[in-house]
Amino acid sequence: MGNIIKLIDTGEFAGMLVQYNYLDRHNEPAIAHAGEKGMGVTIMGPVAGGRLAIPGGVIVDAEGALEMKTPELACALSGITRM
């Protein structure tokens, strides 16, 4: 994550794409830093490969998994393998 912050500080980028969800929050400091710098932040894996959206899984409320009190997020990309 330290390298992501170094890249943000170069000023060369308008946005970034990083992994982020309730089960994997290690990029949270970089996301906050990007928001402070006015960068757009897109996350991938917002429902942790479906583990956060499957009834009986870790968290049933997938919408809450996207919010996570992270106002810096501009977009969340989630792939779907099967219904």
**pLDDT above 60: residue 67:** no
- Tens-digit pLDDT profile for residues 12-41: 999 999 999 888 999 999 999 999 999 999
Q: What is the pTM of this model?
A: 0.78
16 in a structural domain:
yes
9 in a structural domain:
yes
82 in a structural domain:
no
52 in a structural domain:
yes
> Domain span at residue 50?
2-77
Provide the domain count of the chain: 1
73 in a structural domain:
yes
83 in a structural domain:
no
Quickly list DSSP for 5-58.
HHHHHTT--SEEEEE-BTTB-TTHHHHHHHHHTT-EEEEE-TTGGGTTTSTTSS
32 in a structural domain:
yes
